[in-house]
Structure 1
Amino acid sequence: MIAGRSGTQKSGLALFWVAQMGLPTLYYSADMSPFTASSRLASMVTGDTTEQVEAGMAAGGESRARYMSALAPSKITFAFGSPITWQALDEELKAYVELWDAYPQVIVCDNLMDFDAAESDYTAQMAVMSGLTELARSTGATVIVLHHASDKSWEAKTDPWAPPSRDQVKGGLSEKPELSLSVALDPHSLEFRIAVIKQRMGPSDPTARKYAVLWCEPERTRFHANSPLRRAQPTLVRPSS
Protein backbone atom coordinates (compact mmCIF):
# COMPACT_ATOMS: atom_id res chain seq x y z
CA MET A 1 0.00 0.00 0.00
CA ILE A 2 1.06 3.55 -0.77
CA ALA A 3 -0.88 5.89 1.51
CA GLY A 4 -0.84 9.66 1.71
CA ARG A 5 -2.93 12.77 1.89
CA SER A 6 -4.52 14.36 -1.16
CA GLY A 7 -2.12 15.86 -3.69
CA THR A 8 1.00 14.09 -2.45
CA GLN A 9 2.02 12.40 -5.72
CA LYS A 10 0.89 8.90 -4.71
CA SER A 11 -0.03 8.10 -8.31
CA GLY A 12 3.17 9.72 -9.54
CA LEU A 13 5.29 7.52 -7.29
CA ALA A 14 3.39 4.37 -8.25
CA LEU A 15 3.75 5.14 -11.96
CA PHE A 16 7.43 6.02 -11.62
CA TRP A 17 8.09 2.92 -9.51
CA VAL A 18 6.56 0.43 -11.92
CA ALA A 19 8.20 2.17 -14.88
CA GLN A 20 11.58 1.76 -13.17
CA MET A 21 10.84 -1.90 -12.44
CA GLY A 22 10.42 -2.55 -16.14
CA LEU A 23 8.12 -5.50 -15.41
CA PRO A 24 4.86 -6.36 -17.23
CA THR A 25 2.31 -4.26 -15.35
CA LEU A 26 -1.43 -3.70 -15.38
CA TYR A 27 -2.15 -0.23 -13.99
CA TYR A 28 -5.85 0.30 -13.27
CA SER A 29 -6.64 3.96 -12.62
CA ALA A 30 -9.86 5.62 -11.61
CA ASP A 31 -8.09 8.97 -11.05
CA MET A 32 -6.29 9.58 -14.35
CA SER A 33 -7.58 9.85 -17.89
CA PRO A 34 -5.81 7.86 -20.64
CA PHE A 35 -4.31 11.09 -22.00
CA THR A 36 -3.02 12.15 -18.58
CA ALA A 37 -1.48 8.74 -17.91
CA SER A 38 0.29 8.59 -21.28
CA SER A 39 1.46 12.20 -20.96
CA ARG A 40 2.95 11.56 -17.52
CA LEU A 41 4.70 8.43 -18.74
CA ALA A 42 6.09 10.20 -21.83
CA SER A 43 7.22 13.10 -19.65
CA MET A 44 9.02 10.69 -17.34
CA VAL A 45 10.85 9.03 -20.24
CA THR A 46 11.80 12.12 -22.25
CA GLY A 47 12.37 14.65 -19.49
CA ASP A 48 9.95 17.12 -21.06
CA THR A 49 7.27 18.59 -18.83
CA THR A 50 3.74 17.25 -19.11
CA GLU A 51 2.69 20.57 -20.62
CA GLN A 52 5.31 20.15 -23.35
CA VAL A 53 4.19 16.59 -23.97
CA GLU A 54 0.53 17.60 -24.22
CA ALA A 55 1.40 20.43 -26.62
CA GLY A 56 3.54 18.12 -28.73
CA MET A 57 0.85 15.46 -28.89
CA ALA A 58 -1.70 18.07 -29.92
CA ALA A 59 0.63 19.44 -32.59
CA GLY A 60 0.96 16.02 -34.21
CA GLY A 61 3.59 15.25 -36.83
CA GLU A 62 7.16 14.74 -35.66
CA SER A 63 6.42 15.88 -32.11
CA ARG A 64 3.68 13.32 -31.66
CA ALA A 65 5.81 10.61 -33.30
CA ARG A 66 8.66 11.37 -30.89
CA TYR A 67 6.48 10.85 -27.84
CA MET A 68 4.83 7.75 -29.26
CA SER A 69 8.29 6.32 -29.90
CA ALA A 70 9.29 7.09 -26.31
CA LEU A 71 6.22 5.20 -25.04
CA ALA A 72 6.72 2.14 -27.26
CA PRO A 73 9.15 0.20 -24.99
CA SER A 74 6.92 0.58 -21.91
CA LYS A 75 5.60 -2.64 -20.36
CA ILE A 76 2.75 -0.84 -18.59
CA THR A 77 -0.79 -1.60 -19.76
CA PHE A 78 -3.34 0.93 -18.55
CA ALA A 79 -6.98 0.34 -17.72
CA PHE A 80 -9.40 3.08 -16.76
CA GLY A 81 -12.83 3.41 -15.22
CA SER A 82 -14.62 4.70 -12.16
CA PRO A 83 -15.74 3.12 -9.99
CA ILE A 84 -13.40 0.14 -10.16
CA THR A 85 -15.46 -3.04 -10.13
CA TRP A 86 -14.31 -6.62 -9.74
CA GLN A 87 -15.99 -7.48 -13.01
CA ALA A 88 -14.07 -4.77 -14.84
CA LEU A 89 -10.80 -5.78 -13.22
CA ASP A 90 -11.43 -9.43 -14.06
CA GLU A 91 -12.18 -8.54 -17.69
CA GLU A 92 -9.00 -6.48 -17.94
CA LEU A 93 -6.97 -9.40 -16.56
CA LYS A 94 -8.58 -11.82 -19.01
CA ALA A 95 -7.81 -9.45 -21.88
CA TYR A 96 -4.22 -9.11 -20.65
CA VAL A 97 -3.77 -12.90 -20.49
CA GLU A 98 -5.35 -13.26 -23.93
CA LEU A 99 -2.84 -10.77 -25.32
CA TRP A 100 0.32 -11.86 -23.49
CA ASP A 101 -0.47 -15.46 -22.44
CA ALA A 102 0.58 -14.63 -18.87
CA TYR A 103 -0.57 -12.63 -15.88
CA PRO A 104 1.06 -9.26 -15.30
CA GLN A 105 3.87 -9.37 -12.76
CA VAL A 106 2.63 -6.16 -11.14
CA ILE A 107 -0.95 -4.92 -10.69
CA VAL A 108 -1.61 -1.36 -9.51
CA CYS A 109 -5.05 -0.29 -8.26
CA ASP A 110 -5.42 3.48 -8.04
CA ASN A 111 -7.09 3.75 -5.60
CA LEU A 112 -8.85 1.82 -2.84
CA MET A 113 -11.66 4.32 -2.30
CA ASP A 114 -12.51 4.24 -6.00
CA PHE A 115 -13.61 0.61 -5.80
CA ASP A 116 -17.34 0.18 -6.09
CA ALA A 117 -19.08 0.95 -2.75
CA ALA A 118 -15.72 1.47 -0.99
CA GLU A 119 -15.69 5.27 -0.91
CA SER A 120 -16.56 5.45 2.76
CA ASP A 121 -17.79 2.02 3.84
CA TYR A 122 -15.26 0.25 6.05
CA THR A 123 -16.76 -3.20 5.43
CA ALA A 124 -16.53 -2.68 1.65
CA GLN A 125 -12.94 -1.47 1.95
CA MET A 126 -11.97 -4.53 3.99
CA ALA A 127 -13.61 -6.74 1.39
CA VAL A 128 -11.54 -5.02 -1.32
CA MET A 129 -8.34 -5.58 0.65
CA SER A 130 -9.20 -9.26 1.10
CA GLY A 131 -9.96 -9.48 -2.61
CA LEU A 132 -6.63 -7.89 -3.53
CA THR A 133 -4.81 -10.33 -1.25
CA GLU A 134 -6.51 -13.22 -3.03
CA LEU A 135 -5.70 -11.61 -6.38
CA ALA A 136 -2.00 -11.53 -5.50
CA ARG A 137 -2.08 -15.19 -4.43
CA SER A 138 -3.98 -16.43 -7.47
CA THR A 139 -1.95 -14.51 -10.08
CA GLY A 140 1.46 -14.43 -8.41
CA ALA A 141 1.58 -10.69 -9.09
CA THR A 142 2.78 -7.97 -6.78
CA VAL A 143 -0.35 -5.91 -6.08
CA ILE A 144 0.05 -2.23 -5.20
CA VAL A 145 -2.98 -0.34 -3.92
CA LEU A 146 -3.10 3.41 -3.32
CA HIS A 147 -5.08 4.80 -0.41
CA HIS A 148 -5.83 8.07 1.36
CA ALA A 149 -4.76 9.33 4.76
CA SER A 150 -6.80 11.80 6.74
CA ASP A 151 -6.62 15.48 5.73
CA LYS A 152 -8.52 16.49 8.88
CA SER A 153 -6.30 15.17 11.66
CA TRP A 154 -4.37 17.48 13.98
CA GLU A 155 -1.12 16.33 12.37
CA ALA A 156 -2.43 17.15 8.90
CA LYS A 157 -3.07 20.72 10.03
CA THR A 158 0.07 21.31 12.08
CA ASP A 159 2.67 19.32 10.08
CA PRO A 160 1.15 18.77 6.62
CA TRP A 161 4.41 17.90 4.86
CA ALA A 162 5.25 14.96 7.17
CA PRO A 163 4.22 11.42 6.17
CA PRO A 164 1.00 10.40 7.96
CA SER A 165 1.40 7.95 10.82
CA ARG A 166 -0.24 4.54 10.53
CA ASP A 167 -3.25 5.58 12.60
CA GLN A 168 -4.00 8.39 10.13
CA VAL A 169 -4.51 6.02 7.20
CA LYS A 170 -8.24 5.90 6.59
CA GLY A 171 -9.97 2.83 7.97
CA GLY A 172 -6.81 1.48 9.58
CA LEU A 173 -6.31 -0.53 6.39
CA SER A 174 -2.54 -0.10 6.22
CA GLU A 175 -2.22 -3.09 8.56
CA LYS A 176 -3.46 -5.52 5.92
CA PRO A 177 -0.71 -5.43 3.23
CA GLU A 178 2.72 -7.03 3.50
CA LEU A 179 4.26 -3.57 3.14
CA SER A 180 2.66 -0.16 3.74
CA LEU A 181 4.36 3.09 2.81
CA SER A 182 3.30 6.54 3.95
CA VAL A 183 4.27 9.44 1.69
CA ALA A 184 4.24 13.23 1.79
CA LEU A 185 5.44 15.99 -0.51
CA ASP A 186 6.75 19.35 0.64
CA PRO A 187 5.63 21.65 -2.18
CA HIS A 188 8.26 24.26 -1.30
CA SER A 189 11.44 22.18 -1.19
CA LEU A 190 9.98 19.35 -3.32
CA GLU A 191 11.27 16.86 -0.76
CA PHE A 192 9.32 13.63 -1.10
CA ARG A 193 9.25 11.74 2.18
CA ILE A 194 8.60 8.01 2.40
CA ALA A 195 8.05 6.16 5.69
CA VAL A 196 7.63 2.42 6.18
CA ILE A 197 4.69 2.26 8.56
CA LYS A 198 4.13 -1.50 8.33
CA GLN A 199 6.34 -4.33 7.08
CA ARG A 200 5.57 -7.93 7.81
CA MET A 201 9.13 -9.22 7.51
CA GLY A 202 11.19 -6.18 8.43
CA PRO A 203 11.52 -2.96 10.42
CA SER A 204 8.87 -0.28 10.36
CA ASP A 205 7.88 2.89 12.19
CA PRO A 206 4.13 3.29 12.76
CA THR A 207 4.67 6.92 13.76
CA ALA A 208 6.24 7.70 10.36
CA ARG A 209 8.81 9.92 12.05
CA LYS A 210 11.67 8.06 10.39
CA TYR A 211 11.59 8.42 6.65
CA ALA A 212 13.71 8.37 3.53
CA VAL A 213 13.90 11.45 1.35
CA LEU A 214 13.68 11.69 -2.42
CA TRP A 215 13.31 14.81 -4.53
CA CYS A 216 10.29 15.08 -6.76
CA GLU A 217 9.74 16.73 -10.12
CA PRO A 218 5.93 16.72 -10.33
CA GLU A 219 5.91 18.30 -13.78
CA ARG A 220 7.97 15.37 -15.11
CA THR A 221 6.72 12.59 -12.77
CA ARG A 222 10.28 11.93 -11.73
CA PHE A 223 11.88 11.16 -8.37
CA HIS A 224 15.58 11.53 -7.56
CA ALA A 225 17.81 10.26 -4.79
CA ASN A 226 19.48 13.66 -4.55
CA SER A 227 18.30 17.23 -4.70
CA PRO A 228 18.58 18.81 -8.17
CA LEU A 229 20.93 21.31 -6.51
CA ARG A 230 22.96 18.61 -4.72
CA ARG A 231 22.92 15.57 -6.99
CA ALA A 232 26.45 14.62 -6.01
CA GLN A 233 25.46 13.90 -2.42
CA PRO A 234 24.20 10.48 -1.23
CA THR A 235 20.57 9.74 -0.48
CA LEU A 236 19.42 11.33 2.74
CA VAL A 237 17.65 9.40 5.45
CA ARG A 238 16.55 11.65 8.26
CA PRO A 239 14.06 11.62 11.13
CA SER A 240 11.45 14.32 11.25
CA SER A 241 11.80 16.87 13.99
Structure 2
Amino acid sequence: MLTPIRALAQRGDEGALLPRVKAFEPLYRLGCHPRRGDLIMIAGRSGSQKSGLALYWTAAMGLPTLYLSADMQRVTASARLAAMGSGDTFEEVSKAIQSGDMPSRYAEKLAGLPMTFSFDSPITWDGLDAELDAFVELHNEYPSVIVVDNLMDIAEAESDYAAQMAAMASITELGRATGAAVFVLHHASDKTWSKVDPWLPPSRSEIKGGLSEKPTITLTVALHPDDLTYRVAVVKNRSGPCDPSGQTYALLWADPARTRFYDHSPLNR
Protein backbone atom coordinates (compact mmCIF):
# COMPACT_ATOMS: atom_id res chain seq x y z
CA MET A 1 0.00 0.00 0.00
CA LEU A 2 1.37 3.43 -0.91
CA THR A 3 1.88 5.83 2.00
CA PRO A 4 3.58 8.97 0.63
CA ILE A 5 0.83 11.27 1.83
CA ARG A 6 1.52 11.51 5.51
CA ALA A 7 2.48 15.18 5.75
CA LEU A 8 0.01 17.07 3.57
CA ALA A 9 -3.75 17.43 3.18
CA GLN A 10 -5.39 16.66 -0.13
CA ARG A 11 -5.15 19.30 -2.81
CA GLY A 12 -7.93 21.86 -2.86
CA ASP A 13 -7.98 21.91 -6.68
CA GLU A 14 -8.84 18.22 -7.05
CA GLY A 15 -11.58 17.81 -9.62
CA ALA A 16 -10.59 20.88 -11.63
CA LEU A 17 -10.38 20.41 -15.39
CA LEU A 18 -6.88 19.92 -16.74
CA PRO A 19 -5.67 22.73 -19.01
CA ARG A 20 -6.86 22.36 -22.59
CA VAL A 21 -4.25 21.50 -25.20
CA LYS A 22 -5.04 22.88 -28.65
CA ALA A 23 -3.96 19.73 -30.49
CA PHE A 24 -6.55 17.70 -28.58
CA GLU A 25 -9.63 19.72 -29.51
CA PRO A 26 -11.02 16.77 -31.54
CA LEU A 27 -10.71 14.64 -28.40
CA TYR A 28 -12.52 17.20 -26.25
CA ARG A 29 -15.32 17.26 -28.82
CA LEU A 30 -15.89 13.56 -28.09
CA GLY A 31 -16.73 14.54 -24.51
CA CYS A 32 -13.36 13.64 -22.99
CA HIS A 33 -12.49 16.19 -20.29
CA PRO A 34 -9.83 14.89 -17.87
CA ARG A 35 -9.68 16.39 -14.39
CA ARG A 36 -7.23 16.49 -11.54
CA GLY A 37 -7.63 13.38 -9.42
CA ASP A 38 -8.62 11.29 -12.45
CA LEU A 39 -6.84 8.09 -13.40
CA ILE A 40 -6.33 8.18 -17.17
CA MET A 41 -5.12 5.10 -19.03
CA ILE A 42 -3.49 5.38 -22.46
CA ALA A 43 -3.35 1.96 -24.13
CA GLY A 44 -2.05 0.96 -27.52
CA ARG A 45 -0.15 -1.62 -29.47
CA SER A 46 3.61 -1.61 -29.92
CA GLY A 47 4.93 1.50 -31.69
CA SER A 48 1.77 3.56 -31.22
CA GLN A 49 3.52 6.56 -29.63
CA LYS A 50 1.98 6.12 -26.18
CA SER A 51 5.00 7.66 -24.48
CA GLY A 52 5.18 10.41 -27.08
CA LEU A 53 1.55 11.32 -26.44
CA ALA A 54 2.05 11.36 -22.66
CA LEU A 55 5.21 13.50 -22.97
CA TYR A 56 3.55 15.98 -25.30
CA TRP A 57 0.35 16.16 -23.27
CA THR A 58 2.05 16.77 -19.94
CA ALA A 59 4.59 19.23 -21.33
CA ALA A 60 1.88 21.18 -23.17
CA MET A 61 -0.21 21.55 -20.01
CA GLY A 62 2.71 23.12 -18.17
CA LEU A 63 1.71 21.70 -14.77
CA PRO A 64 4.16 20.38 -12.15
CA THR A 65 4.67 16.79 -13.29
CA LEU A 66 6.40 13.67 -11.97
CA TYR A 67 7.13 11.32 -14.88
CA LEU A 68 8.15 7.73 -14.05
CA SER A 69 9.67 5.87 -16.99
CA ALA A 70 11.42 2.52 -16.73
CA ASP A 71 12.31 2.05 -20.41
CA MET A 72 13.31 5.56 -21.54
CA GLN A 73 16.84 6.81 -20.89
CA ARG A 74 17.59 10.27 -19.51
CA VAL A 75 19.15 11.46 -22.76
CA THR A 76 16.18 10.14 -24.76
CA ALA A 77 13.66 12.03 -22.64
CA SER A 78 15.74 15.21 -22.80
CA ALA A 79 16.19 14.95 -26.57
CA ARG A 80 12.48 14.33 -27.17
CA LEU A 81 11.47 17.31 -25.04
CA ALA A 82 14.09 19.55 -26.67
CA ALA A 83 12.86 18.47 -30.11
CA MET A 84 9.29 19.19 -29.07
CA GLY A 85 10.16 22.69 -27.90
CA SER A 86 12.61 23.68 -30.64
CA GLY A 87 11.09 22.10 -33.74
CA ASP A 88 14.34 20.30 -34.56
CA THR A 89 14.16 16.54 -35.03
CA PHE A 90 15.07 14.04 -32.36
CA GLU A 91 18.07 12.96 -34.42
CA GLU A 92 19.33 16.53 -34.74
CA VAL A 93 18.99 17.14 -31.03
CA SER A 94 20.62 13.79 -30.15
CA LYS A 95 23.65 14.55 -32.33
CA ALA A 96 24.04 17.96 -30.71
CA ILE A 97 23.88 16.44 -27.23
CA GLN A 98 26.38 13.70 -28.10
CA SER A 99 28.80 16.20 -29.62
CA GLY A 100 28.91 18.15 -26.37
CA ASP A 101 27.93 21.30 -28.22
CA MET A 102 24.25 21.49 -27.31
CA PRO A 103 22.71 24.81 -28.39
CA SER A 104 21.60 27.01 -25.50
CA ARG A 105 18.06 27.11 -26.93
CA TYR A 106 17.69 23.40 -26.14
CA ALA A 107 18.71 23.99 -22.53
CA GLU A 108 16.31 26.92 -22.32
CA LYS A 109 13.41 24.79 -23.54
CA LEU A 110 14.19 22.09 -21.00
CA ALA A 111 14.69 24.54 -18.13
CA GLY A 112 11.24 26.00 -18.72
CA LEU A 113 9.43 22.69 -18.21
CA PRO A 114 8.12 21.96 -14.68
CA MET A 115 8.79 18.23 -15.08
CA THR A 116 10.70 15.85 -12.82
CA PHE A 117 11.73 12.42 -14.11
CA SER A 118 12.54 9.08 -12.53
CA PHE A 119 14.16 6.44 -14.73
CA ASP A 120 14.41 3.62 -12.18
CA SER A 121 13.74 0.19 -13.65
CA PRO A 122 11.60 -1.48 -12.55
CA ILE A 123 9.29 1.09 -11.00
CA THR A 124 8.92 0.25 -7.30
CA TRP A 125 6.53 1.54 -4.67
CA ASP A 126 9.41 2.42 -2.35
CA GLY A 127 11.02 4.32 -5.20
CA LEU A 128 7.79 6.15 -5.99
CA ASP A 129 7.36 7.02 -2.31
CA ALA A 130 10.88 8.47 -2.26
CA GLU A 131 10.30 10.45 -5.46
CA LEU A 132 7.10 11.96 -4.04
CA ASP A 133 8.82 12.84 -0.76
CA ALA A 134 11.63 14.52 -2.72
CA PHE A 135 9.12 16.41 -4.87
CA VAL A 136 7.30 17.69 -1.78
CA GLU A 137 10.59 18.65 -0.13
CA LEU A 138 11.57 20.66 -3.20
CA HIS A 139 8.22 22.23 -4.12
CA ASN A 140 6.19 22.07 -0.89
CA GLU A 141 3.33 20.46 -2.79
CA TYR A 142 2.49 17.28 -4.63
CA PRO A 143 2.75 17.14 -8.42
CA SER A 144 -0.38 18.11 -10.34
CA VAL A 145 0.28 15.28 -12.80
CA ILE A 146 1.93 11.88 -12.34
CA VAL A 147 2.78 9.63 -15.30
CA VAL A 148 3.47 5.90 -14.88
CA ASP A 149 5.15 4.66 -18.07
CA ASN A 150 4.15 1.89 -18.05
CA LEU A 151 2.07 -0.49 -15.98
CA MET A 152 4.05 -3.60 -16.93
CA ASP A 153 7.30 -1.93 -15.82
CA ILE A 154 6.11 -1.88 -12.20
CA ALA A 155 7.98 -4.43 -10.10
CA GLU A 156 6.24 -7.85 -10.14
CA ALA A 157 3.58 -6.60 -12.59
CA GLU A 158 5.42 -7.62 -15.75
CA SER A 159 3.16 -10.59 -16.44
CA ASP A 160 1.24 -11.41 -13.27
CA TYR A 161 -2.43 -10.44 -13.49
CA ALA A 162 -2.94 -10.26 -9.73
CA ALA A 163 0.10 -7.98 -9.38
CA GLN A 164 -1.19 -5.74 -12.18
CA MET A 165 -4.60 -5.45 -10.50
CA ALA A 166 -2.90 -4.60 -7.20
CA ALA A 167 -0.78 -2.00 -8.98
CA MET A 168 -3.86 -0.41 -10.53
CA ALA A 169 -5.52 -0.23 -7.11
CA SER A 170 -2.45 1.47 -5.65
CA ILE A 171 -2.21 3.90 -8.58
CA THR A 172 -5.89 4.77 -8.08
CA GLU A 173 -5.23 5.50 -4.41
CA LEU A 174 -2.21 7.59 -5.41
CA GLY A 175 -4.42 9.94 -7.41
CA ARG A 176 -7.02 10.17 -4.66
CA ALA A 177 -4.44 10.89 -1.99
CA THR A 178 -2.39 13.48 -3.88
CA GLY A 179 -5.16 15.06 -5.97
CA ALA A 180 -2.95 14.58 -9.02
CA ALA A 181 -4.16 13.49 -12.44
CA VAL A 182 -2.44 10.14 -12.92
CA PHE A 183 -1.69 8.88 -16.43
CA VAL A 184 -0.83 5.19 -16.69
CA LEU A 185 0.37 3.72 -19.98
CA HIS A 186 -0.43 0.14 -20.88
CA HIS A 187 -0.30 -2.30 -23.78
CA ALA A 188 -3.02 -3.62 -26.04
CA SER A 189 -2.78 -7.00 -27.68
CA ASP A 190 -0.74 -7.25 -30.88
CA LYS A 191 -2.62 -10.43 -31.78
CA THR A 192 -5.92 -8.76 -32.63
CA TRP A 193 -5.03 -6.42 -35.49
CA SER A 194 -8.05 -5.69 -37.65
CA LYS A 195 -7.67 -7.09 -41.15
CA VAL A 196 -10.15 -4.51 -42.44
CA ASP A 197 -8.44 -1.46 -40.88
CA PRO A 198 -5.28 -2.31 -38.91
CA TRP A 199 -4.89 1.32 -37.83
CA LEU A 200 -8.09 1.48 -35.80
CA PRO A 201 -7.51 2.11 -32.09
CA PRO A 202 -7.83 -1.08 -30.04
CA SER A 203 -11.18 -1.80 -28.45
CA ARG A 204 -11.55 -1.84 -24.68
CA SER A 205 -11.59 -5.64 -24.75
CA GLU A 206 -8.16 -5.69 -26.44
CA ILE A 207 -6.40 -4.00 -23.51
CA LYS A 208 -4.09 -6.58 -21.98
CA GLY A 209 -5.35 -8.13 -18.78
CA GLY A 210 -8.72 -6.41 -19.02
CA LEU A 211 -7.31 -3.69 -16.79
CA SER A 212 -9.66 -0.90 -17.80
CA GLU A 213 -11.97 -1.16 -14.79
CA LYS A 214 -10.14 1.26 -12.50
CA PRO A 215 -9.42 4.29 -14.77
CA THR A 216 -11.81 7.21 -14.90
CA ILE A 217 -10.96 7.59 -18.58
CA THR A 218 -9.42 4.97 -20.86
CA LEU A 219 -8.02 6.04 -24.23
CA THR A 220 -6.73 3.72 -26.93
CA VAL A 221 -4.44 4.99 -29.66
CA ALA A 222 -3.17 4.00 -33.10
CA LEU A 223 -0.60 5.62 -35.41
CA HIS A 224 -0.80 5.16 -39.18
CA PRO A 225 2.82 4.76 -40.36
CA ASP A 226 2.26 6.28 -43.81
CA ASP A 227 0.27 9.49 -43.36
CA LEU A 228 0.95 9.81 -39.59
CA THR A 229 -2.73 10.14 -38.77
CA TYR A 230 -3.23 9.48 -35.08
CA ARG A 231 -6.52 8.06 -33.88
CA VAL A 232 -7.54 8.35 -30.24
CA ALA A 233 -10.63 6.49 -29.03
CA VAL A 234 -12.41 7.02 -25.71
CA VAL A 235 -13.30 3.45 -24.76
CA LYS A 236 -14.23 4.29 -21.17
CA ASN A 237 -15.43 7.58 -19.69
CA ARG A 238 -17.18 7.70 -16.33
CA SER A 239 -18.46 11.24 -16.83
CA GLY A 240 -19.16 11.35 -20.56
CA PRO A 241 -19.74 9.40 -23.77
CA CYS A 242 -17.52 6.55 -24.90
CA ASP A 243 -17.35 3.79 -27.49
CA PRO A 244 -15.86 0.55 -26.11
CA SER A 245 -15.37 -0.74 -29.66
CA GLY A 246 -12.80 1.98 -30.44
CA GLN A 247 -14.45 2.70 -33.79
CA THR A 248 -15.43 6.24 -32.77
CA TYR A 249 -12.26 8.25 -32.46
CA ALA A 250 -10.67 11.68 -32.55
CA LEU A 251 -8.44 12.23 -35.57
CA LEU A 252 -5.10 13.89 -34.84
CA TRP A 253 -1.78 14.01 -36.67
CA ALA A 254 1.52 12.98 -35.15
CA ASP A 255 5.07 14.15 -35.80
CA PRO A 256 7.11 11.44 -34.02
CA ALA A 257 10.43 12.99 -35.04
CA ARG A 258 9.57 16.06 -32.96
CA THR A 259 7.21 14.44 -30.40
CA ARG A 260 4.43 16.78 -31.50
CA PHE A 261 0.73 16.33 -32.21
CA TYR A 262 -1.72 18.45 -34.21
CA ASP A 263 -5.46 18.83 -34.69
CA HIS A 264 -4.87 19.22 -38.43
CA SER A 265 -2.51 17.79 -41.01
CA PRO A 266 1.07 19.07 -40.47
CA LEU A 267 1.20 19.66 -44.22
CA ASN A 268 -1.31 22.51 -43.68
CA ARG A 269 0.14 24.01 -40.52
Q: TM-score range by the shorter chain?
A: over 0.9
Counterpart of 1:81 in structure 2 is 120
Q: 2:239 corresponds to which residue?
A: 201
Unpaired runs of at least 5, structure 2 = 1-40
The answer to whether residue 107 in structure 2 is matched with residue 68 in structure 1 is yes
**Taking structure 1 as reference, are residues 160 and 82 closer, same or farther at Cα in structure 2, changes over 3 Å only?**
farther
Between the aligned partners of 1:185 and 1:209, the Cα distance in structure 2 is: 14
Equivalents in 2 of 1:154, 1:64: separation in Å? 42
Match of 1:56 in 2: 96
**Structure 1 length-normalised TM:** 0.92
Offset at 1:68? 1.0
Aligned residue for 1:147, secondary structure, equals: strand
Q: Does 1:17 align with 2:17?
A: no
Moved over 6 A (4+): none
The answer to whether the 8 A contact 1:83-1:116 is kept is yes
In the TM superposition, residue 154 of structure 1 has moved relative to its aligned partner by 4.9
Match of 2:76 in 1: 36
Per-residue CA shift, 1:145-181, capped at 9, x if unaligned?
00000001253x6533110000000011122100000
Cα distance in 2 for partners of 1:120, 1:158 equals 30
Taking the aligned partners of 2:147 and 2:228, their CA distance within structure 1 comes to 25
| 2:203 corresponding residue in structure 1 | 165
After superposition, give the CA deviation of every residue in 1:47-103 in whole Å (9 maximum; x if it has no partner).
000111111122334x34331122111011111111111011111111111111110
**Cα pair 1:103 1:141 within 8 Å, conserved:** yes
Among residues 47, 54, 58, which one is paired with 1:7 in the alignment?
47
Identity across matched positions, percent: 62
1:152 aligns with 2:201: no
Alignment-mate amino acid for residue 177 of structure 1: P
For these two proteins, the number of residue pairs brought into alignment is 229
8 Å contact from structure 2 (residues 122, 153) kept in 1: yes
Q: CA deviation at 1:200?
A: 0.4
Structure-2 separation of matches of 1:175 and 1:162: 22
Q: Is the 8 A contact 2:86 2:105 kept in 1?
A: no
CA contact (8 A) 1:46 1:70 kept: yes
Contact residue 57 and residue 67 of structure 1 kept, 8 A: no
Aligned to 1:220: 258
Provide the residue aligned with 2:20 in structure 1: none
- Secondary structure of the residue that 1:57 maps to in structure 2? helix
Alpha-carbon shift at residue 227 of structure 1 (Å): 0.4
Does the aligned pair in 2 maintain the 1:83–1:114 contact within 8 Å? yes
Residue of structure 2 equivalent to 1:191: 229
Structure-2 residue corresponding to 1:237: none
Q: Using structure 2 for the length normalisation, give the TM-score.
A: 0.83
**1:235 equivalent in structure 2:** none
Native 8 Å contact 1:109 1:146 kept in 2: yes
| Greater alpha carbon shift after TM alignment, 43-52 vs 158-167 | 158-167
Determine the C-alpha separation between the residues in 1 that align with 2:121 and 2:149.
10
User: Secondary structure of 1:174's partner?
Assistant: coil
RMSD after superposition:
1.1
